[in-house]
Amino acid sequence: MRQLKFYISLYIIIPFIITGLTILACIISFRLTKYSLGQGADPAQSVFWLILVLGILAFVIGFALVRIILNPVERFVEKALKLASIADEPVEKRKEWSVDKIAQFASVFDRVTSVLSRIDARHFFPEIIGESLAMRGLLSLIKKVAPSDATVLILGESGTGKELVATSIHENSLRKTKPFIKLNCAAIPAELLESELFGHEKGAFTGATKFKPGKFDMADKGTLFLDEIGDMPLKLQSKILRVIQEKEFYRVGGSSTVKVDVRFIASTNQNLEKMVQEGAFREDLYYRLNVFTLHLPPLRERKEDIPLLVDRFLQHLPKKVEISSIALQMIMAYSWPGNIRELKNVIESAAVIAENGFIEPAQLPGSITGAFNTNSKEVSLPVNLSLDERISEIEKSIIIEALRKTGGVQVRATELLGINQRSLWHRIKKHKIDVRSLKSHEI
């Protein structure tokens, strides 16, 4: 016979115990006072001893409950602090923990959550490189929207990886076993774009010697990714709108409708809202596409991801090449108007001319080295530093630069860095940065 088990929430048990003890104390006090008065005795002494006994009982019960609840938490925190990715809190903060256990728990839980979110991102999106706060937020949104059939509009500057995000959405969707068809609207002449999308019948126009299926035919039951949709001609936009609304279209030269089941993902590096106001993009199509919007951050707003990206690009080179600390620091100081695509091209180009398998500042374009010398104070680092040590020094220089720009105001620095205040405080302590000196602009 199966044994039945009942589970009651701690939110019910603890208030119930405290309330029960309070009611019990009131009943016993009332009865004891009534009895003492009936016997002609002073009830004060009896009530005092009763309060003392009940107080000790309440303390013991409370202590037991706290131990039962916090024991597993403390064991978890102790094990977590033995992990290298969690245990790098500064000594000053560990001293505070001996006084404030809640601060310790909150700090460890924040760090564990951060590590888990990075692991989660690597598991579901191995091709998307990024562990910054901005990228983790983006990947969380992708994970939520991917399983649905919602139309997704991806906005971002050129080179931010819009096609990679669209591919990740499809690969994590319920249509992942079906076709994923891509079309760059800016790469095809306007007069040929309609035929590419909808296909054409034989004899539809001069040169149409046979039937040709379009991208909608190919993407049936799957996903169609329309890259750079802002460059699509207005005349064609109305036909795309019909497909989204009615799930049907006419082929070029055809007279009957073709039913299609397609999920739409569109992207652009243009400001569609402004284009709508200027009459360059249909308002109704914009609202049909803008069901779920993803904003891809430019590389200059996620600079902590640059070492990871550089490392990935170096790993995929045909020969083994490394990068010096100062060259990496120059790369991180650059604004990257071409974003990830520009970074990839720079690394591949520098690797070709690198001497002794090492990329130095001399192999970098003048636009990068010039910007570094203008905007940053050059910091010479030993060449034999490990990658983690290089990244640590570069992270320190970025934080110092942000604090210098904001006059030492940490709240404003967090906005520039894209991290929260707790994270900035932790990094300042870890790198032993003197914020007071930065308030007077002394590095």
pLDDT values of the chain reduced to their tens digit, one per residue, 443 residues: 455 555 566 667 777 777 877 888 788 877 878 777 777 777 777 777 877 887 888 788 778 877 777 777 777 777 776 665 555 554 444 444 444 666 767 777 776 666 666 666 566 677 888 878 788 888 889 989 999 999 999 999 999 999 999 999 999 999 999 999 999 998 898 888 988 898 888 766 776 778 888 899 999 999 999 999 999 999 899 999 999 999 998 888 777 888 999 999 999 999 999 999 999 999 999 999 999 999 999 998 888 889 889 999 999 998 899 988 888 888 988 889 999 999 999 999 999 988 788 898 888 888 888 766 555 544 445 555 566 666 777 777 778 777 877 777 888 788 777 777 778 888 888 887 877 766 644 33
Is residue 216 a contact partner of residue 262, using CB atoms and an 8 Å limit? yes
* Helices and strands, number each (H, E), in the chain: 19, 9
Contacts of 162 (CB under 8 A, 6+ apart): 154, 156, 227, 267, 269, 296
Range list of H helices, 267-386: 272-277, 283-289, 306-315, 325-333, 339-353, 366-375
Between CA 125 and CA 118 the distance in angstroms is 10
Between CA 155 and CA 32 the distance in angstroms is 75
At residue 344, the pLDDT reads 94
Identify the helix (H) or strand (E) that includes residue 257.
strand 257-259
| DSSP assignment string, 143-196 | HHHTTS---EEEE--TTS-HHHHHHHHHHTSTTTTS-EEEEETTTS-HHHHHHH
Query: DSSP code of 303?
Result: G
- DSSP E strands, 351-410: 358-359
At residue 378, the pLDDT reads 46
Query: Class assignment of domain 300-439?
Result: mainly alpha
Is residue 243 a contact partner of residue 216, using CB atoms and an 8 Å limit? yes
Number of Cα atoms under 13 Å in the Cβ half of residue 82 = 5
Q: Is 392 exposed, middle or buried (0-12, 13-18, 19+ CB in 10 A)?
A: middle
Residue type present at position 81: L
Q: Considering all CA atoms of the chain, what is the largest pairwise distance in Å, rounded to the nearest integer?
A: 119
At residue 97, the pLDDT reads 47
Give me the CATH code for the 133-297 domain, please. 3.40.50.300
Q: How far is CA 162 from CA 63, 157, 236, 341, 381, in A?
A: 55, 9, 22, 11, 35
Between CA 133 and CA 162 the distance in angstroms is 18
At residue 402, the pLDDT reads 78
pTM of the shown model? 0.65
At residue 348, the pLDDT reads 93
At residue 319, the pLDDT reads 87
Q: Which of 93, 98, 117 is nearest to 422 (CA)?
A: 93
At residue 146, the pLDDT reads 92
